Structure 1
Amino acid sequence: MSLKHAIDSSTSAIEAFLDDELSANTLSTPYPAPDRLVNAVRHGALNGGKRLRPALVRLTADLVGPSNGDLVRAGAAVEYVHCYSLVHDDLPDMDDDELRRGQPTVHVAFDPATAILAGDSLLTHAFGLLADERTHPDANIRTQLITELVQGAGVGGMAGGQMRDIEGERQGYDPKTVSLIHAMKTGAIIRASVRMGAIMAEASNEQLETLTRFAEAAGRIYQLSDDILDATKSSEELGKTAGKDAAQGKSTLIASHGLDHAREALNEELQGALYELDGFGEKANLMRELVTHFARREA
Structure 2
Amino acid sequence: MAYEPKDYILSIIIPVFNRENSIAILLERLLKLVPEDIEFVLVNDGSTDSTLDAIKQIVENSKKISQVKIVNHQKNLGVSAARNTGLEQATGYYLGFIDSDDLVTSNYFEVLRPLLLKYEYDIISFNFTYQDKVIKSSNDGSQLEGVFTASHWHLVSRVYKRELFKDKKFEVLRRYEDVILLPYIFINAKKIKHINEVLYHYIQTKQSITQQIKISDIDDLYFALNKALYYIENYANSTESRLFTIYLFKIMMLIRKYIRKINGYYAYNIEYYDMAKRIIGITEKYNNSLGLNIKKLKYAKIDSYISKLKYWLTLKKKGSL
Q: Structure 2 length as normaliser, TM-score?
A: 0.27
Name the TM-score, length of structure 1 as normaliser.
0.29
Which is helix-richer, 1 or 2? 1
Question: Which of 1 and 2 has higher RCO (CA within 8 Å, sep 6+)?
Answer: 1
